[in-house]
Amino acid sequence: MKHLLLFLSFIILLTSLSFAGDEKRKGTNGADELLIPVGARSIATGGAFIPSLKGVEAIYYNPAGLCGSEKSEAMFSYMTYIADINVSYLAVSANIEDVGAFGLSFKSLDFGDIQQTTIEDPDGITGNTYSPGYYTLGLTYSKSITDRVSAGFTGKLIHESIMNTSATGAAVDFGVQYRFQNNLSIGVAVKNIGSDMKFVGQDLQTRTEVPGSGVGTGNAVYSPETEPFQIPSFFELGLNYTYDFNTENSLMMGTVFRNNNSLQDQYMYGVEYKVMNVFALRSGYEMVDRNNESNVYGLNFGVGIEYDTENSVRVSFDYAFRSIKDFPTDNHVFTLKLGI
């Protein structure tokens, strides 16, 4: 009962943080790269396993789960996203006994080369190109408070740059996991609580004639005042249940409710069937509240394999497929994870 009361106290605290936004924000946020998921296993299951994720993959979804792995881990994930954008994600973790688990993560977007256009050359026929730089750097700490409750947080640096113009912000993620005795677990996560962002840089400057000046006074350089934008914060509450057929085969089911400050609310559903504790078959779906017809994502599918080598190194390889309704190509995700 004490453990449960402690968990409920965390829920109240995190919920109060997440609902601090304004209903008028919907559709007005920036830094949408924070919403791009990572990791083939979690993408295949619709992000519905936030109460039970363990180890380095939990950093993005629920930092409380980082301490759930006894091993130090490294993970690399690559996803072919929409509009010829590719997403790379690298994370490492170290679990120190009696201290907790620490993790470092880095996510970047590759837009490729884009033709540069100007007022004088709107068609970009000069052949000059540029490539935006979007990345997120995170530092995570997680610790088991009791044998059933774990908590964690991630501090993040968010950076966006287009040529000589950039915007930088900071945010924090919080998470809690509570495990019951009968293969049931509850998880709570609050994501992207942080500062506004604003674009600045010399590419915004304009040289023009000073209004009201006399002839021959020359031109002046102006820098426009850009509008700050908020990042997409949200609150998630999830429930997972695992049914063990025997010691080697199990079925995990999960669901998550996401309350968005800047988008419609969402419901995520996921299922994973493990065979011989080695092979995994997965599927998931993300549903948009009230207007699911506008949802661009369809069903997710995935497979995975995990085994321990003779040197006690745990190797995992996962693949996920996420269907996209309004784009010519779907998402393909590949993840490699090592545990030592």
User: Which has more pLDDT, 137 or 208?
Assistant: 137
Question: 291: which DSSP letter?
Answer: -
End-to-end CA distance of the chain: 35
pTM score, whole prediction? 0.90
In the predicted model, is pLDDT for residue 9 greater than 90? no
In the predicted model, is pLDDT for residue 8 greater than 70? no
Structural contact between residues 5 and 146, judged by C-beta atoms closer than 8 angstroms: no
What is the per-residue pLDDT for 212? 67
Give CA–CA dist 43/162, Å, rounded. Answer: 28
Three-class secondary structure assignment of 229-260: ECCCCEEEEEEEEEEECCCCCEEEEEEEEEEE
| Domain presence at residue 122 | no
Using DSSP, how many helices (H) and how many strands (E) does the chain show?
3, 19
* CATH number, residue 216: 2.40.160.40
Binning the chain into helix, strand and coil, the percentages to the nearest 5 are 15, 50, 35
Give CA–CA dist 136/287, Å, rounded. Answer: 26
Using left for φ > 0, alpha for ψ between -120 and 50, and beta otherwise, residue 125 falls in: alpha
| Domain presence at residue 227 | yes
| Domain presence at residue 49 | yes
Give CA–CA dist 150/261, Å, rounded. Answer: 26
pLDDT tens string 29-43: 889 999 999 999 999
In the predicted model, is pLDDT for residue 301 greater than 80? yes
C-alpha angle 51-56-57 in degrees, rounded to nearest 5: 55
**Residue (of 171, 134, 140, 156) closest to 53 by Cα position:** 140
**pLDDT (average), residues 128-155:** 94
Give CA–CA dist 289/105, Å, rounded. Answer: 31
Characterize 132-153 residue by residue with b for buried, 16 or more Cβ atoms within 10 angstroms of its Cβ, and e for exposed: bebebebebbbbbbeebbbbbb
What is the per-residue pLDDT for 4? 56
Tell me what the pLDDT averaged over the chain comes to. 89
Q: How confident is the model at residue 20 (pLDDT cuts 50, 70, 90)?
A: very low
Using left for φ > 0, alpha for ψ between -120 and 50, and beta otherwise, residue 25 falls in: alpha
What is the per-residue pLDDT for 111? 94
What is the per-residue pLDDT for 291? 80
**pLDDT (average), residues 148-154:** 94
| Domain presence at residue 233 | yes
What is the per-residue pLDDT for 12? 56
**Residue (of 334, 331, 310, 271) closest to 80 by Cα position:** 331
**Residue (of 226, 325, 229) closest to 34 by Cα position:** 229
| Domain presence at residue 124 | no
What is the per-residue pLDDT for 276? 94
C-alpha angle 56-58-60 in degrees, rounded to nearest 5: 105
What is the per-residue pLDDT for 189? 95
The structural domain count of the chain equals 1
Q: Quick one: which H or E segment has residue 15? A: helix 2-18
Give CA–CA dist 337/340, Å, rounded. Answer: 10
Q: Quick one: which H or E segment has residue 60? A: helix 58-61
Structural contact between residues 87 and 136, judged by C-beta atoms closer than 8 angstroms: no
3-state secondary structure of 137: strand
pLDDT tens string 216-269: 666 777 788 889 999 999 999 999 999 999 999 999 999 999 998 878 889 999
User: Which has more pLDDT, 324 or 122?
Assistant: 324
In the predicted model, is pLDDT for residue 284 greater than 60? yes
In the predicted model, is pLDDT for residue 21 greater than 50? no
In the predicted model, is pLDDT for residue 51 greater than 50? yes
**pLDDT (average), residues 41-64:** 97
| Domain presence at residue 137 | yes
User: Which has more pLDDT, 11 or 245?
Assistant: 245
What is the per-residue pLDDT for 77? 98
Q: How confident is the model at residue 13 (pLDDT cuts 50, 70, 90)?
A: low
The parent domain of residue 311 ranges over 2-117+130-339
* Residue 48, number of CB atoms within 10 A of its CB: 29
C-alpha angle 103-168-236 in degrees, rounded to nearest 5: 55
